[in-house]
């Protein structure tokens, strides 16, 4: 099983070379993989259709309880078969469709990568691995939407799809973690049958987060706008990702989690409400569009909404209706998208208004298109009819709001018939319209996919028990949570659903007659689109970049002082708050236990620090620093740190020498800051100092855990064979640290040497020259500044005079 999923990724790595080998027929060559995977999954059918589920587990991060486990039951097998089956045709189709495209090899990489990720999503038993695969489908989808990356439009739309689905993905991850915490396991097979999830305190937040993830992925309103925009992808991608598989990942997730999380009022409300809203929005927009792919994309939005609504209802009929509708939709929508690609490829038609009477020149394509459209419209005896009857039945028998949902569904159905009629009739029948290319039937690679899918739609319609017994009953059982007792049938007798679908058929056809009028009538949508969700999205994105620009300009302003002030201010506020609130300032003050010479040194140190700050001469400051360093060394020696004291003395000597030698060449101290700035800095510095003092007084009274020093004291002799414990620590216990330190010092030495010997030609040569030049430039600069100031004052005075 692991091999089955990984094989797609492995093949993806080699796809460009295989593409070169296979040449014109590389699509067929690569399609062998999904074909064999399809056979592999089909071999599980007998077991799964009896209601068994198969599990495969591989250790992944055993320490964190994350394993790569796979679950094959009716639902995941249905998806796996769709992914590999349609994938087979798409690879063959894509190989021919993009035959002349220079990046075809890359196309195969992304498409195969997507196939593997999608298989991972539907087969994963572990929430974490499911999430990883979920995000991988997002990434591959981004790559495929932006496949024509030289067009700005494609890039923009790919970005939009990515942002929305990634935002949902983040929410989903949080939801998954909550779900894992609530159920005590990340294994779906455990989660789904654990009790009490719906009563858990985290139920509402995790449900909302997971729904956000599923809704963005499956383009539910108000996130529906990314899906039609994703049609910037090449048509094979639209057919595969954005109708048959990826967008259904959200629906899959809802169906998968239904036994564990479903059945509550919130679930019912959220799913049916958003589902019905999406259904109506999608089909309404589809009925107004004229672009071939736009119409299909919007009707896909409608289908996704319908599926969500059915999953929300959660009854036995609804579960069966959902899987039936899902299969029917994948078959006819996959076929229709591929037909749309053929229209573009063979006749250059991208818009329904550009075409007419193509049945003479493209007879085979016409048959396929009509067959698939009839299934879309839900006309007997196609499989779409079975799905639609079940849908109506499920809605009519819903426990709550069945009248509202039924009305919504019937309205949607009327418009679906209109859309199906446009797709089935507009380009093929009627008067012949001149097309950009000379229309002709395409070759087998392009035609076989839609033909087989459309024929399957007819076959399953005539003999629904094949699909039912084979898989759908098991899939519906997985959605419902227990085996279901319903069976698919083409003919249910004359009943209410049949009457409703007949009347919607008539009304839909009537509407087709006046399609132009309908589009005129609904023109108000043009103004409504100006406040639609897509505009909100654009505003948000723009606002984000503006905010980022503002924030960067404010915080990253290039002044060291401002960075320091920001950092220190934050530290003072946060640490100070914590000290006040948590610790309530239990200070550990005692002035006992002091010796006279220690106090003298400490006072001397305090004074030398203050003088180093206050003096105006650089040499005096360096001298003060020297005194300070040696004083600190004395402190170390007084308090049992002899090695530290010795080192400090050595380093301090070199430091003073270095400062005198190097910095002596630099200009003297100057007073650059204004008095106000000095006061501000003094306040910040004083507060930092006070904070550190308080911190020390708090810390020294609050040591809670024993350190590891005792270990070093005990083991230096026996293990390190040294008597100076500090030295043993440095060269033995923490020898690697010391080695790193040696490296750092070596690097510093090289850097210092390099910088001293780096000469730039134009600079003066001797030291005195340098100083002279420097001071000259500075005086010039100061003078220029003074001049500018005087000038500004003069002009200000002049303007005042004019007033």
Partner 1 sequence: MTTLMAILIGTFYAAAIYMMLRRSVVKLVIGLILLSNAANLLIFTVAGMDRGIPPLIPKGELLIEGPAADPLAQAVILTSIVIGFGVLAFAVVLIHRACEVVQTDDMNEMKGTD
The minimum distance between CB 688 and partner 1, in angstroms, equals 5
The minimum distance between CB 348 and partner 1, in angstroms, equals 52
525 lies in the binding site for partner 1 (CB under 8 A): no
Site for partner 1 in 597-626 (CB under 8 A): 598-599, 602, 605-606, 609-610, 612-613, 618, 621-622, 625
648 lies in the binding site for partner 1 (CB under 8 A): yes
Tell which one of 148, 357, 635, 771 touches partner 1 (CB under 8 A): 635
Phi-psi domain of 435 (left: phi exceeds 0; alpha: psi -120 through 50; beta: other): beta
579 lies in the binding site for partner 1 (CB under 8 A): no
The minimum distance between CB 610 and partner 1, in angstroms, equals 6
Return the number of the residue (535 or 642) whose C-beta is nearest partner 1: 642
Q: Are 382 and 454 in contact (CB under 8 A)?
A: no
The minimum distance between CB 727 and partner 1, in angstroms, equals 8
Estimate the crossing angle of helix 248-261 against helix 473-480, to 10 degrees.
60
Burial 172-182 (b: 16+ CB within 10 A, else e): bbbbbbbbbeb
Residue 269 CB neighbour total at 10 angstroms: 13
List Cβ neighbours of 298 (8 Å cut-off, separation of 6 or more): 228, 282, 283, 285, 286, 289
Report how far apart, in Å, the C-alpha atoms of 266 and of each of 66, 205, 270 are. 30, 11, 6
783 lies in the binding site for partner 1 (CB under 8 A): no
List Cβ neighbours of 773 (8 Å cut-off, separation of 6 or more): 764
Site for partner 1 in 700-719 (CB under 8 A): 700, 707-709, 712-714, 716-718
What whole-number distance in Å separates Cα of residue 111 and Cα of residue 141? 9
* DSSP string for residues in 740-774: HHHHHHHHHHHHHHHHHH---TTS-SSHHHHHHHH
The minimum distance between CB 550 and partner 1, in angstroms, equals 19
Determine which helix (DSSP H) or strand (DSSP E) holds 231, and give its type and residue range. none
The minimum distance between CB 284 and partner 1, in angstroms, equals 53
Take residue 605 and report the two structure tokens written for it.
Answer: 């140190």
400 lies in the binding site for partner 1 (CB under 8 A): no
696 lies in the binding site for partner 1 (CB under 8 A): yes
Return the number of the residue (524 or 559) whose C-beta is nearest partner 1: 559
729 lies in the binding site for partner 1 (CB under 8 A): yes
Take residue 109 and report the two structure tokens written for it.
Answer: 């990489």
Site for partner 1 in 132-171 (CB under 8 A): none
What whole-number distance in Å separates Cα of residue 230 and Cα of residue 224? 11
Site for partner 1 in 658-687 (CB under 8 A): 658-659, 662-663, 665-667, 669-670, 672-673, 681-682, 684-686
Residues facing 71 on adjacent strands: 55
Tell which one of 201, 494, 582, 589 touches partner 1 (CB under 8 A): 589
Site for partner 1 in 267-306 (CB under 8 A): none
Residues facing 291 on adjacent strands: 351
737 lies in the binding site for partner 1 (CB under 8 A): yes
The minimum distance between CB 784 and partner 1, in angstroms, equals 13
What whole-number distance in Å separates Cα of residue 427 and Cα of residue 728? 88
What whole-number distance in Å separates Cα of residue 89 and Cα of residue 250? 23
Return the number of the residue (503 or 552) whose C-beta is nearest partner 1: 552
Return the number of the residue (403 or 692) whose C-beta is nearest partner 1: 692
Q: Which SS3 state, helix, strand or coil, does residue 184 take?
A: coil
785 lies in the binding site for partner 1 (CB under 8 A): no
Return the number of the residue (263 or 751) whose C-beta is nearest partner 1: 751
Q: How many residues bind partner 1 (CB under 8 A)?
A: 106
Closest to 124 (Cα-Cα) out of 114, 115, 134: 134
Backbone angles phi, psi at 67, to 5 degrees: -125, 160
The minimum distance between CB 547 and partner 1, in angstroms, equals 22
204 lies in the binding site for partner 1 (CB under 8 A): no
Site string for partner 1, 543-572 (x = CB under 8 A): --------------xxxxx--xx--x----
Site string for partner 1, 759-778 (x = CB under 8 A): -x--x------x---x--xx
Stretch that binds partner 1, among 42-50, 167-175, 224-232, 739-747 (CB under 8 A): 739-747
The minimum distance between CB 210 and partner 1, in angstroms, equals 45
The dihedral of CA 667, 671, 677, 681: what is its sign?
positive
Q: Are 219 and 226 in contact (CB under 8 A)?
A: yes
399 lies in the binding site for partner 1 (CB under 8 A): no
Take residue 369 and report the two structure tokens written for it.
Answer: 């298109």
Tell which one of 494, 756, 765, 798 touches partner 1 (CB under 8 A): 756
Return the number of the residue (531 or 756) whose C-beta is nearest partner 1: 756
Stretch that binds partner 1, among 55-63, 380-388, 464-472, 733-741 (CB under 8 A): 733-741
Q: Are 659 and 626 in contact (CB under 8 A)?
A: no
* DSSP string for residues in 565-577: HHHHHHHHHHHHH
What whole-number distance in Å separates Cα of residue 729 and Cα of residue 738? 10
Stretch that binds partner 1, among 5-13, 258-266, 441-449, 722-730 (CB under 8 A): 722-730
Return the number of the residue (511 or 623) whose C-beta is nearest partner 1: 623
The minimum distance between CB 309 and partner 1, in angstroms, equals 56
689 lies in the binding site for partner 1 (CB under 8 A): yes
Stretch that binds partner 1, among 354-362, 382-390, 544-552, 728-736 (CB under 8 A): 728-736
List Cβ neighbours of 213 (8 Å cut-off, separation of 6 or more): 134, 168, 169, 171, 172, 173, 175, 250, 253
* DSSP string for residues in 385-413: HHHHHHHHHHHHT-SSSHHHHHHHHHHHH
Residues facing 292 on adjacent strands: none
585 lies in the binding site for partner 1 (CB under 8 A): no
Take residue 346 and report the two structure tokens written for it.
Answer: 């063979």
Return the number of the residue (50 or 709) whose C-beta is nearest partner 1: 709
Tell which one of 3, 758, 765, 798 touches partner 1 (CB under 8 A): 758
Tell which one of 741, 787, 791, 793 touches partner 1 (CB under 8 A): 741
Site for partner 1 in 446-465 (CB under 8 A): none
Tell which one of 444, 506, 651, 788 touches partner 1 (CB under 8 A): 651
């Amino acid at each position: 099983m692991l091999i089955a999923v990984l094989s797609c990724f492995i093949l993806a790595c080699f796809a460009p070379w295989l593409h070169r080998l296979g040449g014109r027929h590389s699509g067929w060559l690569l399609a062998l993989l999904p074909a064999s995977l399809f056979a592999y999954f089909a071999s599980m059918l007998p077991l799964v259709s009896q209601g068994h589920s198969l599990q495969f587990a591989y250790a992944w991060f055993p320490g964190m309880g994350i394993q790569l486990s796979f679950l094959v039951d009716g639902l995941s097998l249905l998806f796996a078969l769709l992914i590999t089956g349609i994938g087979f045709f798409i690879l063959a189709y894509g190989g021919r469709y993009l035959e002349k495209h220079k990046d075809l090899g890359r196309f195969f990489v992304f498409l195969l990568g997507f196939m593997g990720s999608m298989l991972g999503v539907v087969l994963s038993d572990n929430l974490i691995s499911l999430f990883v695969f979920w995000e991988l489908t997002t990434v591959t989808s981004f790559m495929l939407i932006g496949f024509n990356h030289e067009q700005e439009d494609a890039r923009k739309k790919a970005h939009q799809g990515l942002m929305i689905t990634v935002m949902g993905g983040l929410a989903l991850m949080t939801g998954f973690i909550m779900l894992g915490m609530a159920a005590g396991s990340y294994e779906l097979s455990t989660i789904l049958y654990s009790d009490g999830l719906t009563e858990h305190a985290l139920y509402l937040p995790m449900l909302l987060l997971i729904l956000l993830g599923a809704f963005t992925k499956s383009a539910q309103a108000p996130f529906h706008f990314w899906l039609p925009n994703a049609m910037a992808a090449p048509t094979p991608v639209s057919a595969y990702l954005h109708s048959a598989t990826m967008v259904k990942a959200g629906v899959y997730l809802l169906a998968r989690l239904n036994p564990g999380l479903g059945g509550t009022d919130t679930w019912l409300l959220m799913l049916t409400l958003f589902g019905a809203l999406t259904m109506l929005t999608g089909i309404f927009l589809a009925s107004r569009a004229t672009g071939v792919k736009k119409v299909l994309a919007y009707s896909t939005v409608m289908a996704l909404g319908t599926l969500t609504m059915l999953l929300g209802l959660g009854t036995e009929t609804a579960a069966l209706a959902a899987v039936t509708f899902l299969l029917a939709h994948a078959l006819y929508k996959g076929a229709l998208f591929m037909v749309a690609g053929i229209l573009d490829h063979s006749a250059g038609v991208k818009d329904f208004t550009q075409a007419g009477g193509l049945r003479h020149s493209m007879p085979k394509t016409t048959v396929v298109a009509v067959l698939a459209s009839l299934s879309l419209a839900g006309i007997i005896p196609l499989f779409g009819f079975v799905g639609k009857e079940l849908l109506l039945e499920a809605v009519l028998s819903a426990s709550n709001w069945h009248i509202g949902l039924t009305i919504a569904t019937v309205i949607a159905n009327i418009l679906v018939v209109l859309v199906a009629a446009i797709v089935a009739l507009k380009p093929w029948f009627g008067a012949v319209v001149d097309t950009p290319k000379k229309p002709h039937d395409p070759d087998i690679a392009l035609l076989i996919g839609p033909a087989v899918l459309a024929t399957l739609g007819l076959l399953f319609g005539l003999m629904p028990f094949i699909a039912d017994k084979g898989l759908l009953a098991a899939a519906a059982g997985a959605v419902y949570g227990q085996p279901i007792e319903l069976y698919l049938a083409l003919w249910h007798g004359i009943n209410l659903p049949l009457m409703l679908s007949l009347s919607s058929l008539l009304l839909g056809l009537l509407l087709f007659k006046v399609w132009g009028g309908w589009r005129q009538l609904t023109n108000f949508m043009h103004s409504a689109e100006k406040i639609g969700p897509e505009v909100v999205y654009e505003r948000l994105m723009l606002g984000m970049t503006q905010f980022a620009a503002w924030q960067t300009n404010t915080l990253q302003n290039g002044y060291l002082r401002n960075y320091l002030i920001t950092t220190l201010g934050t530290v003072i506020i946060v640490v100070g708050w914590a000290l006040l609130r948590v610790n309530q300032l239990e200070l550990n003050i005692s002035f006992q236990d002091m010796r006279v010479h220690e106090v003298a040194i400490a006072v001397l140190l305090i004074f030398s620090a203050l003088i180093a700050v206050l003096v105006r001469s650089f040499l005096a400051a360096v001298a003060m620093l020297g005194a300070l360093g040696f004083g600190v060394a004395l402190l170390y020696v007084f308090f049992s740190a002899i090695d530290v004291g010795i080192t400090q003395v050595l380093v301090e000597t070199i430091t003073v020498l270095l400062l005198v030698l190097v910095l002596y060449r630099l200009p003297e101290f100057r007073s650059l800051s204004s008095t106000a700035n000095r006061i501000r800095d003094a306040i910040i510095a004083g507060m930092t100092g006070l904070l550190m003092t308080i911190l020390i007084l708090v810390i020294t009274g609050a040591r809670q855990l024993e350190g590891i020093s005792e270990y070093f004291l005990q083991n230096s002799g026996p293990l390190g064979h040294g008597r100076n414990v500090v030295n043993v620590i440095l060269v033995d216990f923490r020898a690697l640290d010391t080695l790193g330190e040696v490296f750092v010092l070596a690097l510093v030495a090289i850097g210092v040497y390099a910088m001293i010997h780096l000469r730039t030609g134009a600079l003066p040569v001797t030291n005195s020259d340098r100083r002279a030049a420097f001071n000259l430039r500075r005086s010039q600069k100061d003078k220029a500044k003074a001049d500018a100031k005087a000038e500004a004052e003069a002009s200000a005075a002049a303007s005042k005079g004019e007033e």
